[in-house]
């Protein structure tokens, strides 16, 4: 960090002082040679001989940061004066392709939208099938630039658009930003549920009334249903120095992997069969996690429909000296089970809000995914 203090002189006073860059300037392809270098395979291998999706999340987070550094590269400086950090995982959509631990994987990506201090990164993942690379997933991350000591915002290079396709990508970035603002402004932590959502919750409440007593206090679960409070799993991790980034904070990819693995276990425990990841969205990095923190993760099934399971993972930390807990992240994962899963019913008003929030995230999924037997992406 002492070395990084010397980089302050390379920081731009305004965005106008930075040279514009193209999408091609930040484009990169990275190969994960699982097939040609078997010694790498064990790190990515599950007991079912499939690929650990939690490891893929770590790789996507690292790649997103690298792409942003390429967009803002200063050729006269040996080290970048910027601190690039992940602000948000906007969306990860899975394609209907299998993921084998014995075939090479290719990642590609570039900066697709730029603000004053933030950047949107589009990334794609492919896996070798025969002689061709087939698509596996599409990911959209939002990264922010901080100064060399990660103490305040920093300007990023503006973006030049060179084709109608690039203009469309940039416009999609603008729409994504507007959608996130709109989604945040209608959050159930700020506004009451809509009339339709209130009707949904009231009907669920009526369906749990005991027909014998017809009492507000007496609640009975309908057939093939589970109380939401009984769908929880929790975990605790100690954040060791091994998982730190260059700013001496815990690597965001590590947090995503741990949250995903707990979410997968929750969906597996709830559905009674192996779940498959369909979508990841709206992961907001609210606070950095310090080395030495205790990381508390709490996963809960908050919405189900047919074979789909929506899991919410809440992340909070506490230092060894201070027992006060602070929320750092909330993760949203959409899984699909091999068989139809029970309905989940809220018992309290707070759980009803979690149910509606889960329903909103489920409905925001790009498109329903048809489950295939060779669709094997696991923690």
Average pLDDT over residues 63-83: 88
Q: Where are the beta strands (DSSP E) in the chain?
A: 21-22, 28-32, 51-52, 83-94, 105-114, 118-129, 132-146, 159-160, 225-227, 232-238, 275-285, 294-305, 308-318, 326-337, 343-345, 377-378
pLDDT at 372: 38
Residue 112 — very low, low, confident or very high, per pLDDT cuts 50/70/90?
A: very high
- Cβ contacts of 196-204, under 8 Å, gap ≥ 24: 197/356, 197/359, 200/356, 200/359, 201/346, 201/352, 201/355, 201/356, 204/345, 204/346, 204/352, 204/355
pLDDT at 7: 67
Residue 376 — very low, low, confident or very high, per pLDDT cuts 50/70/90?
A: very low
Average pLDDT over residues 161-190: 90
Q: Is the pLDDT of residue 3 over 70?
A: no
Which tokens in the block code for residue 345?
């019913």
pLDDT at 127: 93
Average pLDDT over residues 121-141: 93
pTM, two decimals, is 0.88
Give, as one character, the DSSP assignment of residue 9: G
Which contiguous run of DSSP H or E holds residue 376?
A: none
Q: Which of 176, 196, 358 is nearest to 267 (CA)?
A: 358
What pLDDT, in 10s, does the model give residues 276-288? 999 998 888 888 8
Give, as one character, the DSSP assignment of residue 189: T
Residue 366 — very low, low, confident or very high, per pLDDT cuts 50/70/90?
A: low
Q: Is the pLDDT of residue 130 over 80?
A: yes
- C-alpha dihedral (301, 90, 260, 318), degrees to nearest 10: -90
Task: Supply the Cα-derived Rg of the chain in whole angstroms.
Answer: 22
247 and 54 in contact (C-beta within 8 Å)? no
What pLDDT, in 10s, does the model give residues 310-363? 999 999 988 777 778 888 989 999 999 989 999 999 999 999 999 999 999 999
CA angle, 260 then 262 then 267, to 5°: 90
Question: What is the overall mean pLDDT for the chain?
Answer: 88
pLDDT at 115: 94
Distance CA 335, CA 374 (A): 15
Distance CA 16, CA 45 (A): 47
Distance CA 206, CA 209 (A): 5
- How far is C-alpha 269 from the geometric centre of its chain's CA atoms? 21
CA distances in angstroms from 194 to 185, 188, 207, 365, listed in the order given: 13, 10, 20, 20
pLDDT at 375: 36
């Amino acid at each position: 960090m002492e070395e990084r203090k010397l980089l302050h002189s390379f920081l731009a006073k305004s965005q106008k002082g930075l040279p514009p860059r193209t999408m091609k300037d930040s484009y990169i392809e990275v190969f994960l040679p699982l097939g040609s270098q078997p010694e790498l395979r064990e790190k990515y291998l599950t007991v079912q001989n499939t690929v650990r999706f939690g490891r893929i999340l770590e790789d996507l987070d690292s790649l997103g940061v690298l792409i942003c550094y390429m967009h803002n590269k200063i050729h006269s400086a040996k080290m970048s004066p910027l601190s690039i950090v992940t602000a948000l995982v906007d969306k990860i959509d899975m394609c209907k392709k299998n993921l084998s631990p014995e075939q090479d994987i290719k990642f590609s990506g570039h900066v697709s939208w730029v603000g004053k201090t933030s950047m949107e990164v589009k990334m794609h993942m492919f896996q070798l099938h025969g002689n061709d690379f087939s698509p596996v997933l599409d990911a959209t991350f939002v990264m922010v630039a901080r100064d060399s000591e990660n103490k305040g915002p920093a300007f990023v290079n503006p973006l030049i658009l060179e084709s109608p396709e690039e203009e469309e990508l940039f416009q999609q970035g603008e729409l994504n930003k507007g959608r996130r603002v709109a989604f945040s402004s209608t959050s159930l932590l700020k506004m009451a549920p809509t009339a339709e959502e209130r009707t949904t919750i009231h009907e669920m409440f009526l369906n749990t009334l005991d027909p014998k007593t017809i009492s507000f206090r007496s609640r009975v679960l309908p057939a093939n249903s589970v109380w939401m409070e009984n769908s929880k799993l929790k975990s605790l991790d100690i954040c060791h120095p091994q998982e730190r980034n260059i700013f001496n904070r815990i690597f965001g990819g590590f947090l995503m992997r741990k949250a995903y693995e707990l979410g997968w276990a929750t969906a597996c425990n709830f559905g009674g069969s192996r779940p498959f990841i369909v979508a990841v969205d709206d992961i907001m990095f609210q606070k950095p996690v310090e080395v030495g923190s205790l990381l508390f993760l709490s996963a809960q099934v908050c919405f189900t429909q047919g074979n789909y399971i929506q899991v919410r993972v809440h992340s909070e930390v506490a230092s060894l000296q201070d027992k006060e807990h602070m929320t750092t992240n909330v993760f949203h994962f959409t899984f699909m089970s091999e068989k139809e899963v029970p309905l989940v019913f809220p018992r309290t008003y707070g759980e009803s809000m979690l149910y509606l929030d889960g329903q909103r995230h489920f409905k925001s999924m790009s498109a329903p995914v048809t489950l295939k037997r060779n669709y094997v992406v696991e923690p």
